[in-house]
Amino acid sequence: MKNSMKGFLEGHPGLRYTYFGGKGGVGKTVMAGAMALWFAQQGRKTLLASTNPVHSLSNLLNQNVFGKATEVDEGYGLHALEIDTRETIERSKTEIREKVNWFLKFADIPTKAEDFVESATMNPAFEESAMFENMIDLIVADQYEVYVFDTAPTANARRLLGMSKVYGLWVDKMLQSRKEARETRIKLSFRKKKEEEQEDPLLTYLASFRDRIDQMRELLTDDSKTAFFFVTLLESLPIAVIKRFIGWFHDFGIPIGGVIVNEVIDDSQLDENTTQFVLNRVEMQKRYLEEAQQSFERILGMVSLLDNEVKGVPMIKKVMSALFPGS
């Protein structure tokens, strides 16, 4: 029972934020869907959310959930949402533009904000940071009991979280140097009183930003509230990917729920007519299952390869039954 998804969840009754990592195409979105349906079936108010620029929830659910939290048909009250990342990016650009403009004016620098804004927002990290912001917004809004996030493939998810640490450090540095600059200015100023009374809006902004990041980091590293699950196939590369991934997460102190093995070929159906092709695949899977069992502390679920792609709630329910056997 300990090494099962059900057992894990029973041991973590306060779990609120779940994520799925693994190589592309291994079934992260499918598992997120199955997990979210399970929570909803348990009567918990659940949101299945995607903050990736490339969404797949509408496709998985066979229902449009883009831009607005939408109740999933026949989904035990589950809501799903694909966040419009482009809108967030535009909003962030506007915010950055305002802040840069304010700063340039404050520092008396006669330059157009636009150049800074372009260089700040043209890099791929910006998109990730927008995704991260979206996730934080959802969590802070606190409208659901459980959040199941369909995360981006491996490296992105790690950076997303690693970023929270980097953000914190960066903001602390900024705060420190702003404080020093301010103190120096006050010391040098003849109109001491006035300077002292004047609030530094950038300082205020940075401080509130850091608090938000700190709060987030606390949530993301709290193993009673948060868990990352890793999905793999019984193949070399997907296993190698999550081995590395788990190592990183250990380093970041991010709580690891366990591993889900997906697309296992059901060998109870093999007979003398089974083709060599299938027999070879089954053999291969046996080898990799041994490797997985040796490498991973907790394999929480094994899901069979279904005879069709997983699309629509009835199919997701099949995966859910495999992930939570006997329910």
Ligand X SMILES: Nc1ncnc2c1ncn2[C@@H]1O[C@H](COP(=O)(O)OP(=O)(O)O)[C@@H](O)[C@H]1O
Binding positions for ligand X, rule: CB under 6 A: 22, 24-30, 56, 262-263, 303, 305-306, 309-310, 319
Tell which phi-psi region holds residue 36, choosing left (phi > 0), alpha (psi between -120 and 50) or beta.
alpha
Q: How far is the CB of 239 from Mg ion (least distance, A)?
A: 18
Closest CA to 157 of 254, 26, 302: 254
Judged by CB, which is closer to Mg ion: 56, or 221? Answer: 56
Judged by CB, which is closer to Mg ion: 52, or 226? Answer: 52
Amino acid at 163: M
Judged by CB, which is closer to Mg ion: 7, or 53? Answer: 53
Query: Shortest Cβ contact with Mg ion: which residue?
Result: 29
**Can you tell me the distance from the alpha carbon of 159 to that of 140, in angstroms, rounded to the nearest whole number?**
20
Using the rule CB under 5 A, is 29 a contact of Mg ion?
A: yes
Size of the site for Mg ion (CB under 5 A): 3
**Can you tell me the distance from the alpha carbon of 271 to that of 107, in angstroms, rounded to the nearest whole number?**
78
Judged by CB, which is closer to Mg ion: 29, or 46? Answer: 29
Q: How far is the CB of 254 from ligand X (least distance, A)?
A: 19
Q: How far is the CB of 33 from Mg ion (least distance, A)?
A: 10
Contacts of 102 (CB under 8 A, 6+ apart): 201, 202
Three-state secondary structure string covering 180-230? HHHHHHHHHCCCHHHHHHCCCHHHHHHHHHHHHHHHHHHHHCCCCCEEEEE
Task: Decide which of Mg ion, ligand X, none touches 255; Cβ closer than 5 to 8 Å per partner kind.
Answer: none
The torsion angle over the Cα atoms of residues 303, 309, 310 and 314, rounded to 10 degrees, is -100
**Can you tell me the distance from the alpha carbon of 85 to that of 50, in angstroms, rounded to the nearest whole number?**
10
Piece of the chain touching Mg ion by CB under 5 A; list 28-36, 38-46, 228-236, 298-306 = 28-36
**Can you tell me the distance from the alpha carbon of 232 to that of 28, in angstroms, rounded to the nearest whole number?**
9
Judged by CB, which is closer to ligand X: 11, or 24? Answer: 24
Long-range contacts, stretch 119-124, CB < 8 angstroms, 24+ apart: 120/96, 121/89, 121/92, 121/93, 121/96
Binding mask 40-59 for Mg ion (x = CB under 5 A): ----------------x---
Q: How far is the CB of 54 from ligand X (least distance, A)?
A: 10
Q: How far is the CB of 26 from ligand X (least distance, A)?
A: 5
Piece of the chain touching Mg ion by CB under 5 A; list 24-32, 176-184, 215-223, 226-234 = 24-32
Q: How far is the CB of 221 from ligand X (least distance, A)?
A: 24
Binding region for Mg ion (CB under 5 A): 28-29, 56
